[in-house]
């Protein structure tokens, strides 16, 4: 497989697709194919950009030197730090250009939101004071890959907001956080050694497992809180949720958690498809 595809971490991309899918379904008759596609491109570009940015920043800091999970371009030497950094910046630039077209067609406030998203994406592990090393990564992911991605994708299509779209955004944020949480749980022991104080490190092993399970449950709860009868379709994903929760609660650790990352991404995509269908009905 091409090294740049590996570096883009395809398994994390459901976190970028799901919120746009759900928001577009909720837009209903106001659905705009062009704006929905543009929102999807922005979301995917930001996700890929943050993956390259993390690869670069963790690689030059040495925190990826003993990584358990998938190969990292910088730490493995598959690509130079300079080229990985350039890949991240190109991804962010592409997101910014498409975002500007959406802002021109809707509201210039989109530019501010986009700038904050790009700054958060780079600052997760980059810069002199990365907030991901302080256990704040999950909060950022919830906000930007959950609330902002879902609400923003809805807004650019209908140009209005309501309380319900924020409730709809919560499951997307919860499941995006679950992907990060299982990733950080897998790397918890190594991160603790190198001084990367992710939330999994701060909560310790048991606490991180409880957080992951709580995030999965909250996705189902908030979908039902929309009070839309067809949102109950999301319960069809409950068997997969149960298997993931039970597996993580059983004590799987390290490399044993790699399949859980893949399945959590699949859960988010399945959940989003069911939720979108329920919102569209």
pLDDT beneath 70, residues of the chain? 1, 64-69
Q: Give, for 20, the enclosing helix (H) or strand (E).
A: helix 14-27
d(CA 166, CA 162): 7
**Domain range enclosing 157:** 3-280
What confidence score (pLDDT) does residue 69 get?
64
Q: Integer distance in angstroms from the first to the last C-alpha of the chain?
A: 39
Average pLDDT, the chain: 92
pTM, to two decimals: 0.93
Q: How many domains does the chain have?
A: 1
* DSSP-derived secondary structure for 113-162: HHHHHHHHHHHTT-SSS-GGGGT-HHHHHHIIIIIIHHHHHHHHHHS---
What confidence score (pLDDT) does residue 31 get?
87
**Residue 97's CATH number:** 1.10.600
Single out the residue of 266, 276, 260, 219 nearest to residue 15, CA to CA. Answer: 266
């Amino acid at each position: 497989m091409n090294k740049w595809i590996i570096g883009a971490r395809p398994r994390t991309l459901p976190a970028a697709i799901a919120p746009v899918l759900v928001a577009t379904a909720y837009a209903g008759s106001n659905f705009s194919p062009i704006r929905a596609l543009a929102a999807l491109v922005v979301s995917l570009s930001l996700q890929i950009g943050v993956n390259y940015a993390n690869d670069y920043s963790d690689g030059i800091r040495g925190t990826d030197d003993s990584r358990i999970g998938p190969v990292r371009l910088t730490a493995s030497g598959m690509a130079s730090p300079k080229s990985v950094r350039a890949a991240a910046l190109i991804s962010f630039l592409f997101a910014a250009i498409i975002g500007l077209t959406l802002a021109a067609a809707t509201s210039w406030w989109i530019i501010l939101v986009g700038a904050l998203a790009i700054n958060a994406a780079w600052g997760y592990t980059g810069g002199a004071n990365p907030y991901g090393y302080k256990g704040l990564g999950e909060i950022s992911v919830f906000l930007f890959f959950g609330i902002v991605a879902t609400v923003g994708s809805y807004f650019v299509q209908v140009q209005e907001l309501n309380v319900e779209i924020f409730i709809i955004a919560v499951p997307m944020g919860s499941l995006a956080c679950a992907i990060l949480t299982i990733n950080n749980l897998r790397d918890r022991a190594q991160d603790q050694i190198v001084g990367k104080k992710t939330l999994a490190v701060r909560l310790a092993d048991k606490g991180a497992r409880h957080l992951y399970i709580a995030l999965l449950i909250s996705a189902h709860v908030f979908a039902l809180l929309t009070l839309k009868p067809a949102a109950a379709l999301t319960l069809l994903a409950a068997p997969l949720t149960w298997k993931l929760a039970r597996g993580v609660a059983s004590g799987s650790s390290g490399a044993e958690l790699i399949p859980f990352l893949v399945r959590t991404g699949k859960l988010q995509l399945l959940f989003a498809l069911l939720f979108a269908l329920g919102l569209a009905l």
